[in-house]
Copies of this chain bind each other. A is one copy, B any other.
Amino acid sequence: MPYRAPVEDYRFIFENVVDMAKVAGTERFADATPDMTDAILTELGRMAEEVLYPVQRNGDLTSAVLENGIVRTSPGYAEAFRSMAEGGWLAVSASQEHGGMGLPIAMNTAFNEMVAGTCMALGLCPLLTQGQIEALEHHASDELKEMYLPRLISGEWTGTMNLTEPGAGSDVGALKSKAEPNGDGTYSVSGQKIFITWGDHDFGGNVCHLVLARLPDGVPGTKGISLFMVPKFLPNADGSLGERNSLGVVSLEHKLGIHGSPTCVMQFDGAKGWLVGKEHKGMAAMFTMMNNARLGVGTQGVGIAEGAYQHALAYAQEREQMGTIINHADVRRMLLTMKADTFAARALVLDCSVAIDMSTATNEDQCKARAALLTPISKAFSTDVGIAVAELGVQVHGGMGFIEETGAAQFSRDVRITAIYEGTNGIQAMDLVGRKMMDGGDAAFALLDEIEAHAEQARLVLPELAEPVWQATETLREAVEWMVAQSDMNERFAGCVPFLTAFGRVLGGHYHLKAAMAEGGKGTRTKLARFYVNRLLPQFGGLLEHARAGSADLYDITNEELCA
């Protein structure tokens, strides 16, 4: 049951759902014509199918291991990584100035999805490297850019993000790592970092750590944090690898999933580092990485959903139990749920990608606000979809789903982390109702206006689909109004997770409706839209009741009563 890259779905969504032509219409992305993006999608799909898919199980069965301080990666990973690098895929959206393709983020999303759908554990290495490239492009000095960007873009070197410490997870500002000036423009970085994805490997080249640490005069909390480039090997002036820096991997974590991805505890003992951006402005630089990483993680959810769907579909076509099980109503319900939600999540991450691309191309505030609004929804809704779809994939397999050899469980174990890292889905929801609604809801209302305007047009052709989408949007609008009316943030936070899910559900309805309209209300996509609107969209009602429940009941029960 080989993986088939969803190239056709990308083409369709680009053309009919997220208006990729708008992106190609800008000067910045004038190259991204349909011919160009088609060709790239096809090549990318081939790479995922032929290079990554074959190593998907390897990493699960043979985890990365730490041997004498060196990380040995899973069989075939090094070759697959080199192959991705040689294809030039590692920095689809990085600037051409340093060797990137300079393509829209939307194309990078295609890369991230197909990589996650075929080998998510390995795919984390380029994902983290992408984030580092972006942070350096925006914040690093020219010297650092010249040294690091070409090598990260080519895949000669890879990058990591070092934020978390044992006492500083969601609360990054609590971190204790320190940096002291060496007097020569460099710094000595010390501290322990945990959960460092791809903190080391045996692919060759350098491993470049971006590390958050506090300078001696840094105030407590997030405002006293600076960002440093701390490479595993100190590069010589010509970029060749010099001496080993004072840092190392202490241990690897034993995880539920993504076994092939080495999750490292890193120790920095006065390691030599270079400041990235300004002193005490590390969080701003880190947010550059994090925002796109959040979109990237949401995209992993889509990738796993697609992989799990194809895998379950293949089983359902073969398995005979009172006839082939694909013909049983409840199995079809599961498969259609998987397919309909995967489409919704894919359209969502692409809508967010296009908003980012339009921000980059036009620098318009409206585009930025839309991108900022869609980012936490993309991250949380799409990873929730990934988890739910992978779970359904296990269920479609029946007893075989619980047996590791079938691979259904691996999707489910691998994708589980996506609801946690890069800010838990709870943090995303708090971001959505907090920071992303500091505009009084303007960005949200603009999006809802757009959805309703489309539904009003669609009503003439597909009233039975357009009307429920319009109604759901209107109910969501009331919930947004309720949210922005709460001056006490805790009132918003008390229902932010179901609120975000409902927002995703409504957006999904909008994308399905657009898809159905694009084929004139007749065809496969219309049938899928009907399934989604009749069966999945109605969840919005219960979710939005929950969203508006307020915080009183959460604190009415005391901690002692929780323990009773």
Chain A contact residues, CB within 8 Å of chain B: 8, 164, 167-171, 174, 194-195, 253-257, 313, 317, 320-322, 326-336, 339, 387, 391, 394-395, 398-399, 401-405, 409, 412-413, 416-417, 419-421, 424-426, 429-430, 490, 493-498, 524, 527-528, 530-531, 534-536, 538-543, 545-546, 549, 551, 553-557, 559, 561-564
Contact = CB atoms under 8 A, between A and B. Distances in A.
A409 B256 CA distance: 7
Nearest to A194: B399
B395 A424 contact: yes
Nearest to A494: B329
A426 B322 CA distance: 15
Given A420-B401, A549-B535, A429 B540 contact: no
B557 A169 contact: no
Contacts of A403: 253-256
Given A256-B409, A256-B413, A399 B497 contact: no
Contacts of A404: 254-256
Given A317-B559, A542-B540, A402 B420 contact: yes
Contact of A527 (B170, B413, B490, B557): B557
Given A174-B321, A528-B557, A535-B546, 14 more contacts: A169-B398, A170-B321, A254-B403, A256-B402, A313-B562, A313-B563, A329-B490, A339-B562, A401-B420, A402-B420, A530-B553, A530-B556, A539-B542, A541-B541
A426 B546 contact: no
A561 to B, nearest CB: 4
B405 A420 contact: no
Nearest to A174: B321
Contacts of A255: 402-404
Given A420-B402, A541-B542, A330 B493 contact: yes
A535 B499 CA distance: 12
A357 to B, nearest CB: 28
B559 A534 contact: no
Contacts of A328: 493
Contacts of A545: 534-535, 538
A171 B330 contact: no
Contacts of A497: 330, 333
Contacts of A174: 321-322
A386 to B, nearest CB: 13
A554 B541 CA distance: 23
B554 A332 contact: yes
Contacts of A549: 534-535
Contacts of A168: 321
Given A164-B399, A524-B561, A562-B313, A546 B538 contact: yes
B535 A493 contact: no
Contacts of A334: 426
A269 to B, nearest CB: 23
A167 B320 contact: yes
Contacts of A398: 169-170, 420, 424
A502 to B, nearest CB: 10
Contacts of A417: 402
Nearest to A256: B409
B399 A335 contact: no
Contacts of A524: 557, 561, 564
A329 B322 CA distance: 48
Contacts of A498: 535
A321 B557 contact: no
A405 B164 CA distance: 18
Nearest to A426: B330
The 10 lowest CB-CB distance pairs between A and B, nearest first, are A538-B542, A539-B542, A538-B545, A171-B321, A329-B493, A330-B426, A332-B554, A256-B409, A535-B546, A524-B561
Contacts of A426: 330-331, 334, 395
Nearest to A317: B559
Nearest to A170: B321
A417 B194 CA distance: 32
